[in-house]
Amino acid sequence: MLTKVDIHDFLIKNNIKKSDTVLIHTSMRALGEVEGGCDGLIDGFASYLTDGLFLVPTHTWANVNKNQPIYDVRSTVPCIGALPTVAAFRKDGIRSLHPTHSLAAFGKRAAEFVRGEEFATPPCFLGGAWSRLYEEDAKILLLGVGLDKNTYIHAIDEMVDAPGKLSEQKQLTIIDYDGNSRDVIYRSHSHPTSQYFVNYQKPLDTLGVLSYSKLGDATVTMMGARELTHVLKKIWSNTNYDITESYNEIPESYYMGD
């Protein structure tokens, strides 16, 4: 059984400091049995990162849309699994007001980090919490899941102005913790592309951006937000087509050399 001590030992072993910003995407099934379940996993990370930030995505893109256009931070249930659902409603965390790509933040700077998410226009807008992972040089940990679950790559898409990723505008309503509502004009992702983020696997492995470890029964893929950004920006600067529209191998010339 995975315990809080095991989680702390894992973080120490992988050179994660108590002051770091850490984001996790997680398969609880892949981890195996965790003492305290989802709450126990959150407690393990949050209790270690005493001077940093611990972040859990709490997305609602599948259930906040033009047919059901209301996001209530107090009650809208995440669409991406058990851990996000628990994290979204923890009293010691702060869930952002982003209508489709919210996250729950834990730590002394949590409120500051998620501030302004109600002004989101595309999902991972520049200046928002997702793009701020670059400024934080956040450690992104994929616990038993692959690159296709890495939301931060969408933020890089917006940094490089990747074409054809966003839908037509629609109006959504955000309800905050005090019950105040705000109507926003919003553009979501026009079609699924994250399944093709695995195209980046070989370049990132070749350049040593990804490292691997184990937590519980799960393989953990780890990366720094800045290093990931620099490599993907270089790839996009060398291509004249959308490299995440289908499964394909990215030519080495796009990422090797100066």
Per-residue pLDDT tens for 167-199? 577 899 999 999 999 999 877 765 567 899 999
Tell me the residue range of the domain where 108 lies: 4-61+78-118+126-160+193-254
Q: Does 70 map to a domain? A: no
Query: Is the pLDDT assigned to residue 157 strictly greater than 80?
Result: yes
Average pLDDT, the chain: 93
Mean pLDDT of 195-218: 97
Q: Does 135 map to a domain? A: yes
The whole-number pLDDT of residue 163 equals: 67
Q: Does 24 map to a domain? A: yes
pTM score, two decimals? Answer: 0.94
Exposed / middle / buried, residue 164 (Cβ in 10 Å: 0-12, 13-18, 19+):
exposed
The DSSP secondary structure of 26-72, one letter per residue, reads E-HHHH--BTTHHHHHHHHHHHH-TTSEEEEE---TTTSSSSS-EEE
- Number of domains forming the structure of the chain: 1
The whole-number pLDDT of residue 167 equals: 58
Q: Does 35 map to a domain? A: yes
Q: Does 185 map to a domain? A: no
The whole-number pLDDT of residue 187 equals: 72
Q: Does 72 map to a domain? A: no
Q: Does 187 map to a domain? A: no
Q: Does 245 map to a domain? A: yes
pLDDT tens digits, residue range 41-58?
Answer: 999 999 999 999 999 999
